[in-house]
Amino acid sequence: MRSARMKKKGRRRGYLNPSFAFAMPGTLVYSLLLMLPILFAFASSFTNWNGLTINLENLRFIGIDNYSRMMEDTALKTAVGVTLFITVVVVLAVNILGLGLAVILKNSGRMTNIIRTVFFLPYILSSIAVSFIWMAIISYTGIINSFLISIGLDDFIINFSATKWSSIFWICVVEIWRSIGFYMTIYLAALQGVPQELYEACVMDGSGKWSRFIHITLPMIVPQITVAFLLSVINELRIYDVIFVLTGGGPGTSTQSITYNILTQSFVNWRSGYASAMAVALCVVITIIAAVSMKISKKLEVDV
Amino acid sequence: MAKVTLHNIMKVYPAVDRGEKPAGKKNRSEDFVAVRDFNLEVSDNEFIVFVGPSGCGKSTTLRMIAGLEEITEGEFYIDDELVNDVAPKDRNIAMVFQNYALYPHMTVYNNMAFSLKLRKEKKEVIDQKVRSSAELLDITELLHRKPKTLSGGQRQRVAIGRAIVRDPKVFLMDEPLSNLDTKLRNQMRAEIIKLRERIQTTFIYVTHDQIEAMTLGDRIVVMNNGQIQQIGTPQEVFDDPSNLFVAGFIGTPQMNFFNDEKLLLNEGKYYITLFDQNIELPQRKQEILKARNQEETDVVVGIRPPHITISDNGTLAELDIIEMMGSELHLHLNVDGKDIIVVTPTTATDLSTLHKHQQVKFSFHPELIHIFDKEIKTNLFSL
Ligand SMILES: Nc1ncnc2c1ncn2[C@@H]1O[C@H](COP(=O)(O)OP(=O)(O)O)[C@@H](O)[C@H]1O
Ligand SMILES: [Mg+2]
The alpha carbon of B58 and the centre of ligand 2 are apart by a number of angstroms equal to 6
CB B258 within 8 Å of CB B287: no
CB B353 within 8 Å of CB B312: no
Q: Please tell me which of the candidates A195, A203, A303 has its beta carbon nearest to residue B89.
A: A203
pLDDT of B218 reads 94
Measured between CA atoms, the residue of chain A closest to residue B67 is A204
**Is the minimum distance from the CB of B58 to ligand 1 under 6 angstroms?**
yes
Cβ B104–A303 below 8 Å, yes or no?
yes
Extended beta strands in chain A, E state: none
C-alpha A249/C-alpha A165 separation (Å) is 12
Query: Which CATH topology does A67-300 take?
Result: MetI-like fold (1.10.3720)
Name the minimum distance, in Å, from the CA of B113 to any CA of chain A: 10
Over residues B314-359, the pLDDT tens digits come to 888 999 999 988 889 899 999 888 899 999 988 877 777 888 888 8
Over residues A85-129, the pLDDT tens digits come to 999 999 999 999 999 999 998 887 777 778 888 888 888 888 899
Whole-model pTM over 0.90? no
pLDDT at A15 over 80: no
Which residues neighbour B29 within 8 Å (Cβ) at sequence distance 6 or greater?
B15, B18, B20
pLDDT at A7 over 60: no
Q: Considering every ligand atom, which ligand is closest to the CA of B226?
A: 1
**A220–B contact, CB cutoff 8 A:** yes
**B115–A contact, CB cutoff 8 A:** yes
Transcribe B65-123 into DSSP letters: HHTSS--SEEEEEETTEE-TTS-GGGTTEEEE-TT----TTS-HHHHHHHHHHHTT--H
**B368–A contact, CB cutoff 8 A:** no
Over residues A159-210, the pLDDT tens digits come to 777 888 989 999 999 999 999 999 999 999 999 999 999 999 999 998 889 9
Total residues found in chain A within this entry: 304
The alpha carbon of B306 and the centre of ligand 1 are apart by a number of angstroms equal to 35
Q: Please tell me which of the candidates A195, A204, A207 has its beta carbon nearest to residue B94.
A: A204
CB B45 within 8 Å of CB B202: yes
Which of A5-19, A28-42, A110-124, B55-69 has the highest average model confidence (pLDDT)?
B55-69
**Is the minimum distance from the CB of B227 to ligand 1 under 6 angstroms?**
no
- What one-letter code names the amino acid at B342? V
The ipTM estimated for the assembled molecules is 0.83
- pLDDT band for position B20 (50/70/90)? very low
Describe the crossing of helices B123-137 and B108-118 by its angle, rounded to 10 degrees: 130
The alpha carbon of B97 and the centre of ligand 2 are apart by a number of angstroms equal to 10
pLDDT at B39 over 90: yes
Which residues of chain B are within 8 Å of residue A219 when distances are taken between CB atoms?
105
**B322–A contact, CB cutoff 8 A:** no
Over residues A78-97, the pLDDT tens digits come to 899 999 999 999 999 999 99
- The structural domains of chain A, with segments of one domain joined by +, span 67-300
**A193–B contact, CB cutoff 8 A:** no
DSSP state of B242: S
pLDDT at B14 over 90: no
Q: Considering every ligand atom, which ligand is closest to the CA of B55?
A: 1
Size of interface A-B (CB pairs under 8 A): 60
**B25–A contact, CB cutoff 8 A:** no
pLDDT of A58 reads 73
Name the minimum distance, in Å, from the CA of B131 to any CA of chain A: 18
Nearest to B263 by CA among B292, B289, B291: B289
The C-alpha R_g of chain B, in whole angstroms, comes to 25
Ligand 1: residue of B12, B60, B97, B223 to mutate (most ligand atoms within 8 A of CB) is B60
Cβ B104–A220 below 8 Å, yes or no?
yes
